[in-house]
Amino acid sequence: MLESIALGMLLENDLTGYDIKKFIENGIGVFYKASFGSLYPALKRLTEKGYLTTRDKPQGSRKKIFYHITEEGRKQFFHWLSSPMDIFEGTNTHLAKVYFFDHLEAEIRSQQLLEYEINNRNYLKKLRELEKGFTELDNKECFSPLFITESALRRKPSAGVVISVCRNR
Amino acid sequence: MLESIALGMLLENDLTGYDIKKFIENGIGVFYKASFGSLYPALKRLTEKGYLTTRDKPQGSRKKIFYHITEEGRKQFFHWLSSPMDIFEGTNTHLAKVYFFDHLEAEIRSQQLLEYEINNRNYLKKLRELEKGFTELDNKECFSPLFITESALRRKPSAGVVISVCRNR
DNA sequence: CTCGTCATGTAAAGTGTTACATGATTGT
DNA sequence: ACAATCATGTAACACTTTACATGACGAG
């Protein structure tokens, strides 16, 4: 996953590992977070596979390594990008806990759900801010099919995740 | 995570690893999936930590190991259960791809989003079925705060995930 | 001169998947 | 007989997080 994202970040410009981290934080970071401990090894692997080449451009005595995507890398990236989006059935860790909530005292339960709601509200706010910046882009037409926002959600709940729990006893 | 879930499955009955797998599939499986390759080692770790004890009860010549939760295990489980629910900011892998969608031909993009919507519809259907079985439970009052369903979502979108994407250039 | 940011990296530990290996029992 | 399911487990591999280690540059 991180490998694909790193490739994607390098489509238009050569960047350093540090740059890539920044770009991830400021953009795709809402959906995906990366640490240096995973990023640097990933870049190393991509270089070994021939998807990236490196150029050392030290600035002063500060080490700087720019990564450049190869044709192979591009091919690999577009292969990933074109493959179907799988919905996240599997490891929805933060919801798993709810399954056991009948074991919890009503008070703590309510408090946790309230907290959860607040966190989600904040997340939503963050997404709305992103969306706001988004509507100001000039190349909107590239994104139009991606406008699956709250209003769309109201009509088509498929894009949202409905929380519903069952335990069979 | 899997360790906590395994503990939770053993709160009421002693079960074999195989049983636990089944219970996970039929219940919490919507949110969390486990493989034997992760489950058996997890049970081993839990036993080593003193959270579980084992009882071998072979049936015929078929090996069968029942796991039993200890007081320590219970304590550990409730500690996990009482800890705050963090919202899943971080590694929302299936949405990460959308970030790069402007690089994709409009046609493939539309097709993928359509597919994605279909998958989500199916997932929603599954959740609705769970919910249906759920409303027939006798201990509903234990779950009432968990009724965050589509209708609630319409009023409080915080519980849902709104898809919105921005790339800054 | 010190703090924040830039910059790269390693090591250990955790956690997981896939595939393999083995064999018993049940239903058709 | 054969397949499906029951039942346990290992091995190789993949990926990640957290913490650590190192050091340069720029601003105040």
**For residue range B80-133, what is the model confidence (pLDDT) as tens digits?**
888 877 766 666 667 777 778 777 787 777 777 777 777 777 776 766 666 555
Same domain, residue pair A7 and A64: yes
Poorest-pLDDT segment among A103-107, A156-160, B61-65? A156-160
Helix axes of B2-9 and B36-48: crossing angle, nearest 10 degrees: 80
> Could you tell me if A52 and A114 lie in one domain?
no
- Partner B contacted by A159 (CB < 8 A): yes
Give the CA-to-C1' distance from B38 to D12 in angstroms: 14
Is residue B80 within 8 A of residue A119, CB to CB? The reply is: no
Query: How many structural domains comprise chain A?
Result: 2
B150 contact A CB<8A: yes
Is strand D in 7 Å reach of the CB of B37? yes
CB B86 within 8 A of CB A94: yes
Place of tokens 């009432």: B144
Angle, helices A2-9 vs A36-48, to 10°: value is 80
| Shared-domain flag, residues A8 and A52 | yes
Those residues whose C-beta lies under 8 Å from the C-beta of residue B9, and which sit 6 or more positions away, are B15, B20, B23, B24
- Mean predicted confidence (pLDDT) in A18-34: 85
Q: Does the C-beta of B68 come within 7 A of strand D?
A: no
Q: Are residues A73 and A16 in the same domain?
A: yes
| A94 CB inside 7 Å of strand C | no
The chain B residue lying nearest A91, using CA atoms, is B32
Q: Is the pLDDT of residue A27 over 80?
A: no
Per-residue pLDDT tens over the stretch A109-146: 777 777 776 777 777 676 666 656 555 544 444 443 33
Residue A76 tokens read as 């690999």
Q: What is the pLDDT of residues B2-13, one digit of tens each?
A: 999 999 999 989
Q: Is residue B53 part of a domain?
A: yes
Q: Collapsing DSSP states into helix, strand and coil, what is residue B15?
A: strand
Q: Which domain holds residue A37?
A: 2-82
Residues B104 and B145 in one domain: yes
- What is the number of other CB atoms lying within 10 angstroms of the CB of residue A28? 24
Q: Which of B44, B86, B147, B3 is nearest to A162 (CA)?
A: B147
Residues A15 and A67 in one domain: yes
Which among A5, A100, A115 is the nearest to B96, CB-wise? A5
For B13, which DSSP code? S
Contact A162 B154 (CB under 8 A): no
Residue B50 pLDDT: 92
